[in-house]
Amino acid sequence: MSRLLLVGPADSRRIAWLQRALLEQGSAPARVVGYESLLRDASMLQDAVVPGTVVKLESPGESPAVHAALLLRGWESSGCTGAAPEAMARGELAHQHLWFAGFKSVLESLPAGLRYLNRPVDLVCMADKLACQQRLAAAGVAVPAMLGPILGYEDLRERLRKEGRSRVFVKARYGSSGAGVLAYACNARGDEVAYGSAELVEQGGRHRIFNSLRQRRYRRREEIARLVDLLAAQGAYLEQWIPKPEWPGRTGAHFDVRVVALDGQPRQRVARIGEGALTNLHLGNERGRLDAWLDRAAMRTLESATTLAAAAFPDSRSIGFDLIVRGCRTWVLEANGFGDLLPDLRHRGRTTYEDQAALVADRAVPAERVHG
């Protein structure tokens, strides 16, 4: 029996990639447990493992049914205040705070004492982008200046006035991969502009946000205010605006970098190239080979920033970090406990999944890695 147990949607691409890596190295396939089972009774995990099993929690994000169940769990665990969350349309950005509360509640109910690839409390921290950035900053990692959570548009305006800033990122606190990120700027004459992938849609007098595949621009105050209010209602915070550098390989393109750390060491890395300079929009964006474009000094900076950031989560073995590299300056934008979805990207011959498969094949899981 494989020494790996995966928690996630059975039909997930993530699970398929890892199973293939296990198969290719001659290991038995990992057992898969759905989040549905954990939602019913998390203690079942205890019975599902044998001593020495490593439990890897995959992203629950690929299953709409699990998403809905997590929302409901979040609503219940927050004391059932307000109306129960309604069903969401595909691509809709809503109730992210409830999703987070549900995710947190499930992960906190997991049995202690198992060997987790990534520690559940760390995954909870990384799902709260603001808490994660605070943790990274406390560990001495360079992150964009944090300007705190906001209550809504008026609060945003007030905060900028106080800070003397004219541009800022509004980020969804519990969002993922660029969903709900707005780049906001204003000038002294009262003009405003916001860029982002969020699409504001009005249906029957009700406003909703959808995650769109292209970058949009908003200039009308009422639209911007509505967007910011809708984002803030599900958790949003302000962050210093740091422009992404131009991708040297193609005019007009910009990039940031994803580096996957394994056991604290930077491994697979890739430039994520997009037309949009302002948002974390990566859907449909290209990947670029970093070593062709970053000089040795920049690569070293990137590696040391990743090592430092990974050390802020010493009990989590596989973390994807998103970074901006400008010259010899680097900022960590976020940490992602499910940041290993980079199929076919190799570092010293191995993909992220082959790295993880090797951990269980080589009996390389040190005993001190037992955490709850």
Partner 1 sequence: MTISEYTKVYRGKRVVDFKMGDSPTAGDIAYRLAQEYDSSESQSELLEDFFSKVGPESIETLVVGPWSEASSDSPQGFIDGLIARRAELVGLKALFVGDMTYEDCEISWIIQSSYNELLAAFPGLESLRVRGATDLKLQPFVHANLQELAIECGGLPSQLVEAIAASTLPALRHLELWLGDDGYGFDGDVDTYRRLLAAIGPERLRHLGLRNAMISDDLAQWLAAEPWLGSLHTLDLSLGTIGDIGARALLASPNLGGIERIDLSHHYISAEVQQQLRALPCAVILDDPEQEDDGDRYVAVAE
Kindly list the residues in this chain that would bind partner 1 in the complex (CB under 8 A). 166, 185, 187-189, 191, 193, 217, 219, 241-243, 246, 251-252, 275, 277-278
How far apart are CB 269 and partner 1 at their closest, in Å? 24
Which residue lies nearer to partner 1 by CB, 242 or 299?
A: 242
Segments in the chain forming alpha helices (H): 13-24, 35-40, 44-48, 64-77, 96-108, 120-127, 129-138, 153-163, 221-233, 296-310, 352-361
Which residue lies nearer to partner 1 by CB, 9 or 144?
A: 144
- At residue 100, φ and ψ (nearest 5 deg) are -60, -45
How far apart are CB 316 and partner 1 at their closest, in Å? 32
Which residue lies nearer to partner 1 by CB, 246 or 303?
A: 246
How far apart are CB 192 and partner 1 at their closest, in Å? 10
- Three-class secondary structure assignment of 127-173: HCHHHHHHHHHHCCCCCCCEEEECCCHHHHHHHHHHHCCCEEEEEEC
How far apart are CB 194 and partner 1 at their closest, in Å? 12
Which residue lies nearer to partner 1 by CB, 255 or 313?
A: 255
How far apart are CB 360 and partner 1 at their closest, in Å? 45
Which residue lies nearer to partner 1 by CB, 48 or 185?
A: 185
Which residue lies nearer to partner 1 by CB, 250 or 300?
A: 250
In DSSP notation, 85-128 reads PPPPPTTB---HHHHHHHHHHHHHTSPTTSEESB-HHHHHHHHS
How far apart are CB 291 and partner 1 at their closest, in Å? 23
Q: What are the respective helix, strand and coil percentages of the chain, to the nearest 5?
A: 35, 30, 40
